Amino acid sequence: MKVTKKALLLDGYVDEPACFGVPPYISPYVRYAFGVLESHGFETRYLTADQWRITCQREAVAEADIITVISGLTVPGRYRGGSPLTLSELKDLCGLPRKGSLFLGGPIRHGYTLKGGSKALDLVLDGVDCLCTRDPEAALDHFLKTGELRPEKTRTYEKIRRWAQLGAKVVKAHPFYPWLVAELELSRGCDRKGGRCSFCSEGAFSTYEERPVTDIAEETKALADSGVTAFRFGRCSNILSYGGTDTLCGIRPEPSKIKELYAAVRGACPDLEVLHTDNCNPLTIAAFPDESLGTLEEICRWNTEGDVLSLGIESLDPKVRKLNNLKVDAETALRVVRLINVAGGHRKRKRGLPTALPGLNFLAGLAGEDKGSFEANRLFLKRLVEENLTVRRINIRQAMIFPRTPLARLSKENPSKAGKKAFMKWKNWVREEIDPIMLKRVAPTGTVIKRVRIEERQGRLCFGRPLGSYPLLVGIITSTEPECEVIDVVVTDHGSRSVTGIPCPVDINRCGFEEIEALPGIGKARARRIIQARPFACYQDLAAILDEPGVLDGISELLAFR
Ligand code: SF4
């Protein structure tokens, strides 16, 4: 009788500068590990951290011949889609009775912390047989072939080619399936010339390497065959460098290579719903503005709407920038934001979201910082507002200090003296003074956000998000339970970091008072009049009973008369 080998793969979630894997995102780490286990004939049970927390499947640990845990955050974040595995949960897991070897890998190799503004601990855990100091999939494969524990094993792109294809089907075991975004790997390491930013763990990869287009397309096809329709080029520190030419000033973007990449992925999944990217190094745009513009235009031709190009600005205080080897000053950052607005500020469809906008990452807790350091950031954001430029989101985080990054040393010599009060004041100022302005520019009243998935309900308000890069949080006013879990929403109002809307098209003869009241220009009195006068056969009938007949003209095509 053939005995089936059993494996447990626990997805503790990952977040690092160039890779994200908190639901609805699924990271390459778990897909590759699943592929390795498949290639060795294992029957693998895949669990997410949230599933583990609820069910604590001790028997899955006890009966597994091998256990792999992927985990670790090297950038702080707050997540709506799931809660990463904590150290105490990991310790509990390691202490459970088992017969199989336990592999632990992912960004956790850099150390452990869950909070921004804190120093990471070097991880020492009893009960872990192999703490993978490089690539968990390579260490796992080596062990399964030889029985030897080699935590430092690394993989090549040639090696992961098959694992990536075999691992694609793990998506079907994900509790969010098929509502998933597959984080795709394009490259790894940092392409920057002239040293690394002090805080960044991506520099730990000694060389910058790129994955062949054919391999990316093959994995996309395997994921599409397993039901995935949303993809992000997130495992990549700089989309503009992909396929570019190495020069003394950095990698010069090659628009034709980006075209080749996007065309191959589109060809591998012709019905894809989302194709987004993430990191974009502002230094590349500063060094090669013409080639960057050509590349950005190519991205905007092939991507799907609502894309975000994340720029690591970190701090615009000149002394902090110098000490931490940060990328750009305020003038350069301004030029970069202008260029992305030119390439991606348009909308591909009427009432759609902008094609691609900049996202700004600021970081506090850097070496040399003081209370006045945030003023330069503030002046920069004011200029964006004055110039009528748009950014999709502004992330303000506190650095996590990892042992082997330059920041670990620098922050001992020149610790941040900004203090929590100054940090919160700066952050709150952005949330109150800048975010609301930008949100109205990104999604003005009347914007239709497609395919919003309802995630929770609080009375007559539901909350949901579409799939994609940094999706907008949408509050949906519904007097009745929506018929579908995934709906289109027309924006009717704005909070500071979320929009409010109603299901679209608006079924004027059947929807509730709250939805009608929320229509732009309607309010309580007109809503009452509409409710009393319905049903209407057409828009003209509706307009005729209003004291200002043209008040709904701007959104008339979004109204349904059933
Ligand atoms: S440019 Fe800086 S932030 Fe970007 S990957 Fe390199 S070291 Fe990290």
CATH code for position 209: 3.30.750.210
Average pLDDT, the chain: 93
Cα–Cα distance between 147 and 485 in angstroms, integer?
Answer: 47
The confidence score (pLDDT) of residue 334 equals 98
Distance 316 CA to ligand 1 centre (A): 16
Burial class (CB in 10 A: 0-12, 13-18, 19+), 350: exposed
The 3-state DSSP class for residue 457 equals: strand
Burial class (CB in 10 A: 0-12, 13-18, 19+), 119: middle
Lowest mean per-residue pLDDT among 97-106, 456-465, 516-525 = 456-465
Lowest mean per-residue pLDDT among 265-279, 311-325, 403-417, 493-507 = 403-417
Per-residue pLDDT for 117 more than 70? no
Question: Could you list the residue range(s) of the whole structural domain that residue 34 is in?
Answer: 5-157
Tell whether 141 and 233 lie within a shared domain: no
Tell whether 409 and 452 lie within a shared domain: no
List ligand 1's pocket residues with C-beta within 6 A.
17, 190, 192, 196-197, 200, 202-203, 237, 281, 312, 327
Task: State both tokens at 70.
Answer: 């992927």
Omega before 107 within 30 of 0, i.e. cis: no
Look at residues 69, 3, 58 and name the one whose alpha carbon lies nearest to residue 34: 69
For this complex, say whether ipTM is above 0.90: yes
Task: State both tokens at 57.
Answer: 């499947």
Tell me: the pLDDT tens digits for 489-538?
999 999 888 999 999 999 999 999 999 999 999 999 999 999 999 999 99
Question: Facing residues of 394 across strands?
Answer: 360
Tell me: the pLDDT tens digits for 11-49?
999 999 899 999 999 999 999 999 999 999 999 999 999
Residue 165 lies in a domain: no
The confidence score (pLDDT) of residue 460 equals 82
Tell whether 499 and 402 lie within a shared domain: no
Residue 29 lies in a domain: yes
Distance 326 CA to ligand 1 centre (A): 9
Cα–Cα distance between 414 and 34 in angstroms, integer?
Answer: 43
The confidence score (pLDDT) of residue 469 equals 93
The confidence score (pLDDT) of residue 205 equals 56
The confidence score (pLDDT) of residue 201 equals 77
* Atom number, ligand 1, closest to the C-alpha of residue 203: 7
Cα–Cα distance between 27 and 5 in angstroms, integer?
Answer: 24
Distance 144 CA to ligand 1 centre (A): 34
* Atom number, ligand 1, closest to the C-alpha of residue 18: 5
Place 125 in a pLDDT band, splitting at 50, 70 and 90. Answer: confident
Share of the chain above pLDDT 70, in %: 97
Please state the three-class secondary structure of 225-254 as a single string.
HCCCCEEEEEECCCHHHCCCEEECCEEECC
* Atom number, ligand 1, closest to the C-alpha of residue 189: 5
Contacts 24+ apart (CB under 8 A), 225-228: 225/168, 226/168, 226/169, 226/171, 226/172, 227/171, 227/172, 227/177, 227/178, 228/168, 228/171, 228/178, 228/180, 228/182, 228/269
Tell whether 352 and 482 lie within a shared domain: no
Tell whether 10 and 123 lie within a shared domain: yes
Cα–Cα distance between 254 and 232 in angstroms, integer?
Answer: 20
Instruction: Concatenate the DSSP letters of all residues of 246-309 into one string.
Output: EETTEEEP-HHHHHHHHHHHHHH-TT-SEEEE-B--HHHHHH-HHHHHHHHHHHHHHS-SSEEE
Distance 278 CA to ligand 1 centre (A): 13
The confidence score (pLDDT) of residue 109 equals 87
DSSP classification of residue 95? H
Task: State both tokens at 528.
Answer: 């009452």
Cβ atoms of residues 314 and 332 within 8 Å: no
Tell whether 14 and 67 lie within a shared domain: yes
Give the C-alpha distances (Å, rounded to integers) separating 36 from 64, 94, 154, 180, 209.
Answer: 15, 22, 14, 21, 21
Q: Average pLDDT of 321-343?
A: 97
Cβ atoms of residues 214 and 264 within 8 Å: yes
Cα–Cα distance between 561 and 102 in angstroms, integer?
Answer: 60
Tell me: the pLDDT tens digits for 47-71?
999 999 988 788 899 999 999 999 9
The residue nearest atom 1 of ligand 1, judged by CA position, is 192
Place 116 in a pLDDT band, splitting at 50, 70 and 90. Answer: low
Place 179 in a pLDDT band, splitting at 50, 70 and 90. Answer: very high
Task: Supply φ then ψ for residue 43, to 5 degrees.
Answer: -95, 115
Look at residues 237, 325, 255, 246 and name the one whose alpha carbon lies nearest to residue 293: 255
Tell whether 77 and 128 lie within a shared domain: yes
Residue 81 lies in a domain: yes
Burial class (CB in 10 A: 0-12, 13-18, 19+), 211: buried
Q: Last residue of some domain: 381, 406, 441?
A: 441
Cα–Cα distance between 397 and 471 in angstroms, integer?
Answer: 18
The confidence score (pLDDT) of residue 118 equals 65
Length of the chain: 562
Tell me: the pLDDT tens digits for 363-417?
999 999 999 999 999 999 999 999 999 999 999 999 888 877 899 899 899 999 9
Task: Give the CATH number, domain containing residue 549.
Answer: 1.10.150.320
Task: State both tokens at 392.
Answer: 């999709």
Tell whether 151 and 29 lie within a shared domain: yes
Tell whether 428 and 454 lie within a shared domain: no
Tell whether 465 and 542 lie within a shared domain: yes
Lowest mean per-residue pLDDT among 66-75, 104-113, 295-304 = 104-113
The confidence score (pLDDT) of residue 496 equals 82
Tell whether 18 and 133 lie within a shared domain: yes
Per-residue pLDDT for 113 more than 80? no
The confidence score (pLDDT) of residue 155 equals 94
- Asked whether the CA dihedral 336, 338, 340, 343 is positive or negative, the reply is negative
Q: Last residue of some domain: 125, 157, 189?
A: 157
Place 115 in a pLDDT band, splitting at 50, 70 and 90. Answer: low
The confidence score (pLDDT) of residue 202 equals 74
Q: Average pLDDT of 181-208?
A: 86
Longest Cα separation, the chain: 81
Residue 175 lies in a domain: no
Mutate to test the pocket of ligand 1, among 110, 187, 192, 199 (most ligand atoms within 8 A of CB): 192
Question: Facing residues of 252 across strands?
Answer: 245
The confidence score (pLDDT) of residue 209 equals 94
* Atom number, ligand 1, closest to the C-alpha of residue 326: 2
Residue 295 lies in a domain: no
Look at residues 174, 167, 156 and name the one whose alpha carbon lies nearest to residue 218: 167
| Number of separate domains in the chain | 4
Residue 166 lies in a domain: no
Q: Last residue of some domain: 422, 441, 460?
A: 441
Task: Supply φ then ψ for residue 367, to 5 degrees.
Answer: -65, 140
The one-letter amino acid code at 495 reads G
Tell whether 418 and 453 lie within a shared domain: no
